[in-house]
Amino acid sequence: MTIEKTIVTIRNISKNFGGLAALQQVNITVTRGSITAVIGPNGAGKTTLINVLSGFLLPDSGSISLNNTVITGKKGHMITRLGMARTFQTAQLFGTMSVLENVMVGRYARTRAGLAGAALRLPGVLAEERAVRARALKLLDLVGLTDQASLPATSIPIGSQRLLEIARALASDPQVLLLDEPAAGLNTQETRLLGELLQTIKNQGITIMLVEHDMELVMDISDDIAVLNFGQNIARGTPAEIQTNPDVISIYLGED
Amino acid sequence: MHVRKNIPLILLVLTIIAVPLTISDPYYLTILIFIGIYAIATMGLNLLMGYAGQISLGHAAFFALGAYVPAILTTRYEVPCIVAAALAVLLASAVAYLVGLPCLRLKGHYLAMGTLAFGEIIHIVLNAEVELTGGPSGIAGIPMLGIGNLSVDSDEKYFVVVWVIFVLLFALTRNIINSRPGRALQALHGSEQAASAMGIDVPGMKLMVFILSAAYAALAGVLYVHFVAFISPGAGDIMFSIRMVTMVVVGGMGHLWGSLLGAGLLTVLPEMLSYFEDYDMLIYGGILLIMVMFLPGGLTQGFERLWATLRNRRNPT
């Protein structure tokens, strides 16, 4: 069996909010095992794209497929179960729970314990619970939050909250990880560590698609970059190609 | 290893054993039985409000359904209590499913209004369906709880039945909270979007906890009706729904022990304040107001603070 080179295909996706065309006929393919970045000025439709991909918004037209299966129109929780997990632009942690428990919630999609089994603490449920805890601790170790495992999730610094969101998303064993501005609010040092973490995740075989404003990070880690402007996909290529693309330069530096 | 964590529960079990041996005054036993019944309903509502972050101002309706089904079935059709009780809980769960399907699409104030309207509808039906429910005069002469020849025929025995059920439910509920479905409930409270991104079916999970909490309320209704032996539409009154919500809030939202503390305080307080005659409601309201202002985390928070202070005094750092 051959494995397809392309893992996500975005075909002719359009999304309008009233009169505003947030996405117009966007086409992007994501290569399996790559880090693909989507960049563009504010209001270019980047977050809308993430929301459409993750099933939080329905596109007006077009289709999205994951592993050659069309996922357009599926609910958000189904898309996670199919192997595409996401983080949020402003960290959306579960505030009543600890750091560790937040990651344990992330394991929901890959576990089975039901109400009755949980209430009666059946042996199978207890074994699953132990496995979930062990896996969550491992992921906290990966992102470097082991020390803070028992703290309330929303009490940790913003930079750590972003890492926690990534660990939580990884807990669902995604094939594709969607990151909505993971470096927002991070300092230079934290951003550098984030870049290293994303490389480690990529080396584990997980495809990453991120929306990001921090150009240094994007150019540093991406294999592939797509540029959006006013909802249109205006350029596509490797970091080197994008940096010398005249259209991209004119958007970012302004035309004369 | 878990002994320390279970000390409060062990103390509760010892108290349950001690009470029928030492207290024989029917007045005190009655109050303790009511506390147990309300604590069961409050625990269910706490799952919905404290853990999952959804409000219901119609839970008295489920309590009333739980009370009316055995009232009708045991007095008119001589259905065994245990069967009637099971049917009561099932009916309340089925109604919760049908009501929850549209209502739980609402959020915040709208969900409060939706559940309030549902509660009022049940209250009106109980008053109007005279042939079925006895109308405003209710149904009397409901038999004692019992299985076969075994009958719960004294207050002491009833006390034990109610509190054993509470302890069992408490243990089961605590297990649920510290598990996959329990964490999913708490995730709804934190962020519905993020919960969905974790693979949690948000509407399905809300419906599940709504049905579960309705089942607790119905079970409390069953225990109530066999103890009081009489039921009238007052049990499904909006004021009772609000009292249940108050028990959850005063006890401590999202704290399981809070259900017991809230039910205890709100049952005992009106009894104690009856000494003040005409001023009792004024003092009652004042106490609740002060509690909400200074202990927004409820009685559980109060106890936790007290415990922390005492411990710090013992081992000053």
Kind and range of the H or E element at A122? none
Nearest CA in chain B to A130: B179
DSSP per-residue string spanning B126-180: HHH-HHHH-GGG-EE-PPPPEETTEE--SHHHHHHHHHHHHHHHHHHHHHHHTSH
Is the per-residue pLDDT at A2 higher than 60?
A: no
pLDDT(A145) > 70 = yes
**How close, in Å, is residue B76 to chain A by CA atoms?**
34
Mean pLDDT for the stretch of residues B135-142: 90
Question: Residue B208 has what pLDDT?
Answer: 96
CA closest to B173 among chain A residues? A119
Tally the C-alpha atoms within 13 A of residue B175's C-alpha that lie toward its C-beta.
Answer: 19
CATH of A1-83+174-256, one of 3.40.50.300, 3.40.30.10, 3.20.20.220, 3.40.50.150: 3.40.50.300
Radius of gyration of chain A (CA): 19
Distance from CA of B252 to the nearest CA of A (A): 13
Write the CB contacts of B243 (distance below 8 Å, at least 6 apart in sequence): B266
- Phi, psi (5° rounding) for residue A234? -100, -15
What count of other Cβ atoms lies within 10 Å of the Cβ of residue B293?
A: 8
- Measure the CA dihedral B279/B280/B281/B286, to 10°: 90
CB atoms within 10 A of CB B18: 10
* Mean pLDDT over the full length of chain B: 90
Give the containing element (helix H, strand E) for B33.
Answer: helix B26-46
Q: Does the CB of B173 have a partner CB in chain A at under 8 Å?
A: yes
| Segment B171-215, tens digit of pLDDT | 999 999 999 999 999 999 999 999 999 999 999 999 999 999 999
How many A×B Cβ pairs under 8 Å?
A: 105
Spatial CB neighbours of B46, under 8 Å, sequence gap ≥ 6 = B248, B251, B253, B254, B255, B256, B258, B259
Check B180 against A113: CB less than 8 A apart: yes
Q: Is A123 on the interface with B (CB under 8 A)?
A: no
Please state the rounded mean pLDDT for residues A191-197: 95
Name the pLDDT band for B1 (thresholds 50, 70, 90). very low
Q: What are the tokens at B56?
A: 């219901």
- Say whether A125 and B176 touch across the interface (CB within 8 A): no
- Model pLDDT, residue A255: 54
Q: What is the ipTM of this complex?
A: 0.92
Closest to B198 (Cβ–Cβ): which among A105, A112, A114?
Answer: A105
Instruction: Inspect the interface and report whether the beta carbons of A119 and B193 lie closer than 8 Å.
Output: no
Closest-CA distance of chain A to residue B133, Å: 34
Q: Please list the residue range(s) of chain A that carry CATH number 3.40.50.300.
A: 1-83+174-256
The verdict on a CB contact (< 8 Å) between A88 and B186 is: no
The SS3 call for residue B17 is helix
* Confidence grade of residue B317 (pLDDT, cut at 50, 70, 90): low
- Are A127 and A139 in contact by the 8 Å Cβ rule? The answer is no
Would the CB atoms of A113 and B195 count as touching at under 8 Å?
Answer: no
What is the rounded average pLDDT of the residues B26-55?
95
Residue A256 confidence (pLDDT) above 60: no
pTM higher than the cut 0.90: yes
Confidence of residue B295 (pLDDT cuts 50, 70, 90): confident
User: Binning pLDDT at 50, 70 and 90, where does residue A1 land?
Assistant: very low
How far is residue A21's CA from residue A111's CA, in Å, rounded to a whole number? 39
User: How far from chain centre, in Å, is Cα B263?
Assistant: 8
Lowest mean pLDDT among A134-143, B92-101, B148-157: B148-157
The answer to whether A227 contacts chain B (CB < 8 Å) is no
